[in-house]
A and B are shown apart, each in its own frame.
Chain A
Amino acid sequence: MRRTANNPVRILATWVALLTLLVASAAVSRWHLGIGNLVASLGIALAKGAIVAWIFMGLRDASMSIRIAASIGAALLLVLVALSTLDMTHRADLAAPYQRPEQLAPVIEQRHAATPRR
């Protein structure tokens, strides 16, 4: 069954839902929940993003070709994140260019100490 496009009632309901989620996100940040703060704030942000994409951007009513285009974008983003994560987690900690000389010094000393002298 073909769904109908957005109407004022649905738009209003979506807007209220988004603002409610925003208030929830701001309210959760007032409590110390440890890792729960990160999970809640990102979870609410993802929910808000999904609502905007589904209702306002029309993915709910979109044709298959539009959904495929959107899915390919999301899939490529996942590939980017997955491959970059793989790279970062298998890389030895190197002194980053932004670090100041006094922070680089211990790393350099360690390397010199590890190098066998002839």
Chain B
Amino acid sequence: MSFVFGPARRTVPQPSVAALGMWVFIASEALFFGALLFAYGVTRWHSPAAFAAASAKTDFWIGTVNTAVLLTSSACVAMAGDRLRHGTSRAAELWLGGAVLLGSLFLALKAIEWRSEWTHGLFPGPSWTLDGHPRPAAELFFAWYFVSTGLHAVHLAIGIAFAAVLATRLSRASERFEHNERLHAFGLYWHFVDVVWIVLYPLIYLVAPRT
């Protein structure tokens, strides 16, 4: 075996404990959201027409724009990781700031959508109706919708706070190695939250053709 000493090639570092731990956490989160998705599948299987009618009441454009916003935020986080690997922590800070802004925009749009659904009486409760008719399966759709999007929003809010704290600390050069590790682990979390929304988007907004 021979060793060659020289400039290190730009390769991916060996898995850190933080990254491995985050992947295990993501696996447990996948089971958490998986149970919710399965509940959705069973209910939709039993009541496809009610789900289509309920889905038609959701705001297709806000959902689609929000998906684009989250996909863009994921690209920002990936760019932050790339910039930090190259030692430009200022650029990494800016990309992380972009992710924070986009994440906040997502939550703001979601809040507007929730408010509209609340004012239209779509939040489940006593005497719930859809277009004046009681439809329990459609009510279940909205119960699932508010639980799923609410849990997703909580995860995203945690990610935004995590990103904001990380962005303010990136300039400390003495902790550069730790920052790389933390940013990588944070990026995994952020992208996972993005993947959850990618799956939720067609289940909420694309149940029936939008003509």
Residues of A within 8 A of B28 (CB): 73
Instruction: Across the interface, name the chain B residue whose C-beta is closest to A41.
Output: B202
Given known pairs A25-B202, A30-B210, A66-B20, the reply for A76 and B11 (CB within 8 Å) is no
Q: How many residues of B contact A (CB 8 A)?
A: 53
Q: Are A56 and B27 neighbours in the complex by a CB distance under 8 Å?
A: no
Q: Are A73 and B27 neighbours in the complex by a CB distance under 8 Å?
A: yes
Residues of B within 8 A of A100 (CB): 134, 136
Residues of A within 8 A of B77 (CB): 56
Q: Are B12 and A2 neighbours in the complex by a CB distance under 8 Å?
A: yes
Q: Are B38 and A81 neighbours in the complex by a CB distance under 8 Å?
A: yes
Residues of A within 8 A of B161 (CB): none
Given known pairs A22-B71, A30-B210, A61-B12, the reply for A69 and B27 (CB within 8 Å) is yes
Residues of A within 8 A of B208 (CB): 37
Residues of A within 8 A of B74 (CB): 15, 18, 52, 56
Distance, CA A42 to CA B201, complexed state (A): 9
Q: In whole Å, how far is A78's beta carbon from the nearest beta carbon of chain B? A: 9
Distance, CA A49 to CA B67, complexed state (A): 12
Q: Are B78 and A3 neighbours in the complex by a CB distance under 8 Å?
A: no
CB-defined A-B contacts under 8 Å, sample of 17:
A8-B79, A12-B75, A15-B71, A18-B74, A29-B206, A30-B209, A32-B211, A49-B199, A52-B195, A53-B195, A63-B15, A70-B23, A73-B31, A80-B35, A81-B34, A98-B136, A100-B134
- Rank and list the top 3 A-B pairs by shortest CB-CB distance, nearest first: A73-B27, A41-B202, A15-B75
